Amino acid sequence: MRSVTEPENRPAPLEALALRAQPTELHFRRNHFLPPERPAAEVTVAGMNKRTFSLAELRSRAAAATVSAVLECAGHRRAELEPPAEGIPWELGAVSEARWSGLPLRELLLEVGVPPAARSVALYGRDGDVERFGRAISLEKALSEETLVAWEMNGEPVPLVHGGPLRAIVPGHYAVDSVKWLERIELIDGEFEGSFQRLDYRLFTADDDEGVELHALPVHALLLDSGTRELSGIAWGGEGGVASVAVSIDDGPWEQAELERTSRWGRVFWRHAWEAAGGTHTVAVRATDAAGTAQPDAPQWNRLGYANNSVRRVRITAP
């Protein structure tokens, strides 16, 4: 018997984002549908050949790996857009980090054979009503070492609500690509026609716009702690990583923060010393990636309210 009647969507508490090891129970949740009643403990992979791999067989493989990765909902900070956009009015917290263990997806793709014409890989979950939830990623990303078919989250079996027993983990991409309750994987040579890629999770800037697919995470930084002598927080990014984080106080010059890196796809912790004078101050934090792309100063409005990684300004009152 189900314990819930609606899909669960819940942000992570901001204090949990500052922890070096974020507990599984405080990881954000975003589900379009209820968890399946009988999630598959196996996954079928179709390429030049077709094979079904059981969870037990996957776990026995010597190539198993662990990746610490940030997952972020594409609608994170949607509530800041004006006029309001469609979708869940996420504020802060639709982002989290966990340690994921599983088998690199490339191992399974190479085993079934990659057709010469293949250009992308479709991932299908067991959830859905009219159609199964599905997304497709590029063949290049699917063959990278960090993309996993995962069975563990923070050293324990992936919980049902987080997509267990098997889910995809695609570091550096929005969480929608890390398909939960994974049951089928297909190498494809044409356009992926699933509605969660063709009609949703796209940047539509006008009603007649065909939209642009969302995949790679943009660079992003948040202020989490505002003491009177030090400011601190986290930053994360996609393929380009986080090259720097800068802080501006009361619209003053941008000053570089100190960075503490933990892993290639995990959070970057930053801190910046300041002597807070009494009164109210405005603090802005801006991250820049390895290609030199910085967070934009203002959100880019789009109909579905996605990809808001704009600089966030916080008002702080010091005694």
CATH code where residue 252 lies: 2.60.40.650
Examine residue 2 and state whether it is found in any structural domain, yes or no.
Answer: no
- The b-or-e profile of 50-70 (16+ CB within 10 A means b, else e) is eeebebeebeeeeebeebbbb
pLDDT in tens, 282-312: 999 999 999 999 999 999 999 999 999 999 9
Contacts of 140 (CB under 8 A, 6+ apart): none
Final residue of a structural domain among 177, 196, 213: 213
- What 3-state DSSP class applies to 30? strand
Whether residues 159 and 305 fall in one domain: no
pTM of the prediction?
A: 0.94
pLDDT in tens, 30-85: 988 888 888 889 999 999 999 999 999 999 998 999 999 999 999 999 999 999 99
24 pLDDT exceeds 80?
yes
- Tell me the C-alpha distance between 118 and 116, whole Å: 6
CATH code where residue 165 lies: 3.90.420.10
Count of structural domains within the chain: 2
Examine residue 4 and state whether it is found in any structural domain, yes or no.
Answer: no
Whether residues 256 and 160 fall in one domain: no
Final residue of a structural domain among 145, 179, 213: 213
- Tell me the C-alpha distance between 184 and 126, whole Å: 8
For residue 173, give both structure tokens. 């991409």
Whether residues 37 and 182 fall in one domain: yes
Burial zone of 126 (CB within 10 Å; 0-12 exposed, 13-18 middle, 19+ buried) = buried
Residues spanned by the domain of 174: 9-213
